Amino acid sequence: MKVLVAVKRVIDYNVKIRVKPDHSDVDLTNVKMAMNPFCEIAVEEAVRLKEKGVATEVVAVTVGPKAAQEQLRTALALGADRAIHVETEEVVESLAVAKLLEGVVNEEKPDLVILGKQAIDTDNNQTGQMLAALTGMGQGTFASEIVVEDGEIRVTREIDGGHQTVALKLPAVVTTDLRLNEPRYAKLPDIMKAKKKPLESRTPEALGVAVPAGLKRLKVETPAERKGGVKVGSVDELVDKLKNEAKVL
Amino acid sequence: MSILVLAEHHNGQLSDGTAHVVAAATAIGGNVDVLVAGESVQGVAETAATLEGVSRVRVADAAVYAHQLAEPIGDLLVRLADDYTHVLTAASTGGKNALPRLAALKGVNQISEILEVVSADTFKRPIYAGNAIATVQSDDPLKVITVRTTAFDAVARQGSASVEAIESEVTNAVSRFVDEALAQSDRPELGGARIIVSGGRGMGNGENFKLLEGIADKLGAAVGASRAAVDAGFVPNDMQVGQTGKIVAPDLYIAVGISGAIQHLAGMKDSKVIVAINKDDEAPIFQIADYGLVGDLFEILPALEQKL
């Protein structure tokens, strides 16, 4: 079966972000960018499905600026067979991305689409669900385990309070939780080989998708700073402060 | 303004989060309806009808809504949405699962995890793991919103809304419930607890979490964990507090053996009072803790339990 895996270029998760002085956005100039951690898990899972003989082809896709091709090359180095870059210079959020991915799904007809459960920049947690709804597929969100058998996929999902397992008819959409797997590192020979793998560029027009407008971002600000407090010397002092100063006990 | 709140419930009990979502709906203003979808949920509907500010509870009681799978709930919401300007639910795993389907099928953007209602079309929400707050405005005819429940105080239970059945039933041919494994606990639910005691990698192993449980029992607190503790297999993942786990804001949060990675802070930095117990006095957690105690947790925890 063919697996489509969507990846996003985001600010590296270790970077301490800065809000621009004009409050228009977070400052992304000269900041280290990387593949979204949840997307790395999605790529890893797709590659493992191929290694198990379940998947025959893994196609990586991203929506974004030219620079996002770097993350597609990373996906190729990790084991994806080919890549599709849907080029948009404007910032697109979940609904627009889901519609563009729907265009790619209509062309590629994958049996399974794997995405991360959320991007660590917008923290939306929407795209996979939206893509499933638009394409009429079932969804297995926040997956910590997947098993493909008898034309369906069993997805164990992390839910508040524990786990839930659902069975979905294929084709289906799965979004990854952190516990699904441990992504591998790309080795240098694989990075070299990835440069020769096919990477195709598409435009929203070529996919026949009218990109919807997103939410208006009026202001981005730094949250109220939390000040460090005091260090106490003993358990007695701690209990005393909690009882008499903070009054929370 | 006409607002629909999708209620959350488990095992015939209305989840506490719904009262917080109704508070957010009330802040937007207008008529507030609550939708209860599930199987054998009459009791849940009656509880929802007591929430202050709710004018009507609509009940979709059918086998197809059992376990609240996203596909049928999404389709049901699409059928009802034309009557409303806003559809809200909690930013829980259930809400995050179902609501984007409604947004996509109506062709509108979703506003995730709002912290504050600025006006009927403008909201504040966290981005970059809570390290920035964005004020966003939606021009869409329908506002589809998930609510960070810890950011809104629950409404009281003193209303008396009418309860009406919805006959319309959808079909679901794409997904099927297989089974569920829920962690058993007598302690308060993590999301709604007044006091939380959390352990990190510094706890060393799962057995040592008993030290936290003793304290939690004395305080009537819930026990949480950092991702490091969950990944190390000390405790199940539904105890995880953080960007990818639960977002909590209790009166008192006691972080034990937790260094304070930004991913963890995103889940608890809105707690009223934070206590850090850690042997490393350089740990980032001390930068946000109101009270810090540097030392060996294996000595501090038994002493603390004894003092309480």
ipTM of the complex: 0.95
- 3-state class (DSSP) for residue A42: helix
* pLDDT for residue B192: 82
Which of B68, B69, B122, B176 to mutate against chain A (most A CBs within 10 Å)? B176
Q: How many angstroms away from the CA of A164 is the closest CA of chain B?
A: 4
Res. B184: pLDDT tops 90: no
* pLDDT for residue B185: 78
| pLDDT averages per 10-residue partition of chain A, 249 residues | 98 93 95 97 98 97 97 98 95 96 98 97 97 98 96 95 95 95 95 97 96 96 89 96 91
Q: Do B231 and A121 touch (CB under 8 A)?
A: no
Q: Do A144 and B104 touch (CB under 8 A)?
A: no
Q: How many angstroms away from the CA of B265 is the closest CA of chain A?
A: 11
Tens digits of residue pLDDT in A162-219: 899 999 999 999 999 988 999 999 999 999 999 999 999 999 999 999 999 999 999 9
Q: Name the residue among B122, B238, B287 with its Cβ closest to that of A161.
A: B238
B163 inside 8 A of chain A by CB: no
Is A137:A149 a contact under the CB 8 Å cutoff? no
Burial (0-12, 13-18, 19+ Cβ within 10 Å), B10: middle
Q: How far apart are the first and last CA of chain B?
A: 50
* pLDDT for residue B218: 94
Q: What does pTM read for this prediction?
A: 0.94
* pLDDT for residue B1: 93
Q: Name the residue among B110, B182, B291 with its Cβ closest to that of A126.
A: B110
* pLDDT for residue A212: 95
Residue B18 to residues B12, B34, B51, B221: CA-CA distances in angstroms? Answer: 14, 9, 9, 21
Q: What is the mean pLDDT of residues B189-216?
A: 95
Tens digits of residue pLDDT in B236-255: 988 999 988 899 999 999 99
* pLDDT for residue B278: 97
What residues of chain B lie within 8 A of the CB of A138, using their CB?
71, 174-175
For B200, residues 6+ apart whose C-beta sits below 8 A from its C-beta are B225, B226, B228, B229, B255, B256, B257, B258, B259, B264
* pLDDT for residue A226: 85
Res. B182: pLDDT tops 90: no
Tens digits of residue pLDDT in B69-116: 999 999 999 999 999 999 999 999 999 999 999 999 999 999 999 999
